[in-house]
Every structure is written in C-alpha cells, then in structure tokens.
Amino acid sequence: MIRITREADYGIVLMTYLAQAEGHPRSAATLAQQRQLPLPMVSKILKSLARAGLLTSQRGAQGGYSLARPATEISAADIVGALEGPIAITECSTGDHDGCSRLEHCEVSGHWSRINQAIQTALQSISLLEMSRPDPPKPVRFHASHRTTTLHASHSL
C-alpha cells in the first residue's frame, strides 16, 4: 500500500485552512484546535513548512503562521516534499541506483522512475487553492438504456 505519512496528511489539512484564512495569520494553538489535531504535532509540522519556505511566521499578539506565497503557487507535491522529502515510490525510483545491490538483476527499475514521475506530476498539478475548496460534485453519467421492443405481428387469415 502506498501512503503519505500522517504528518504530510495533517500538513495538507493545515495548509488548506491557512489558504482559507486569506492571509490572516493563525497560531499553532488555533490551528490545532480548529482542526482537532495534537498541538505538538501541529507545531512540528508548521515549523517544517516554514523552513521549506511555504509558510511565514509572525511573532506577537497578532502573530501566527500564514502562506508564504499564493495558494495557486503551492502544490500538493510542495507540501508532501517539504514534510517527507523527495517523492519516491521505491529506493531506485529517484534515479540514484548506487545503493541498489539488485540493479544488474532487475528488469523493472527503469519503469519505477516513470511511475514515480507520474505520481510527482499528479501531485504537482493540484494546487493548494484547489485542495482548500470543496470537491466539486462529479457529473452523473447516464448510459442509454438498451430497451428491446418486441413487435407482435398479427396475421389475419
């Protein structure tokens, strides 16, 4: 099973809340309370996101955290990468094959980098602004019914 960490998941939740705050700083305590997350974890995540340049922090009574750039310019990949490091589905999918002892016997290593790139591209294509809005309803598609019409012919003799 492929999963992002709990920290990356919570990081996206916190970042979407900050995107909705429209530039108004929010404290770690407020974010933790609003999203019902543990304060120590929220503080750790916010510090990591600030170190990565995705958040700015302001001290003081009106201080807190806010987005460092517009939500349209922050992707899901930026957030996941800031909290988990480079996105890699396998050890060899980053292109660094130095640590792989199986490389000369592996017929699929080249394919993992393609899969990894597809995941990276998908995460890069989703902005924080999109993530902070409700998921639009999916259109309902109806398939043409395949009714069979039986014609009864009556023959009069």
In this structure, is residue 150 part of a structural domain? no
In this structure, is residue 148 part of a structural domain? no
Confidence at residue 68, expressed as pLDDT on a 0 to 100 scale? 96
Instruction: Tell whether the model's pLDDT for residue 157 goes beyond 50.
Output: no
In this structure, is residue 60 part of a structural domain? yes
In this structure, is residue 141 part of a structural domain? no
Instruction: Tell whether the model's pLDDT for residue 149 goes beyond 70.
Output: no
In this structure, is residue 123 part of a structural domain? yes
Confidence at residue 74, expressed as pLDDT on a 0 to 100 scale? 97
Higher pLDDT, 87 or 29: 29
pTM of the prediction? 0.77
Confidence at residue 156, expressed as pLDDT on a 0 to 100 scale? 46
Higher pLDDT, 115 or 143: 115
Q: How many domains does the chain have?
A: 1
Higher pLDDT, 56 or 91: 56
Domain at 12, CATH number: 1.10.10.10
In this structure, is residue 44 part of a structural domain? yes
Instruction: Tell whether the model's pLDDT for residue 59 goes beyond 50.
Output: yes
Percent of the chain, pLDDT > 90? 52
Q: Which domain covers residue 44, as residue numbers?
A: 6-96+104-131
In this structure, is residue 82 part of a structural domain? yes
Give me the half-sphere count of Cα atoms (radius 13 Å) on the Cβ side of residue 126.
16
The DSSP H or E segment spanning 64 is strand 64-67
Q: Hey, what are 5's tokens?
A: 């960490």
Q: Using one digit for the tens of pLDDT, what is the confidence trace for 134-147?
A: 776 666 666 655 55
Confidence at residue 15, expressed as pLDDT on a 0 to 100 scale? 97
| 138: number of Cβ within 10 Å | 6
Confidence at residue 7, expressed as pLDDT on a 0 to 100 scale? 95
Give me the half-sphere count of Cα atoms (radius 13 Å) on the Cβ side of residue 49.
34
| Angle, CA of 124, 43 and 4, to the nearest 5° | 35
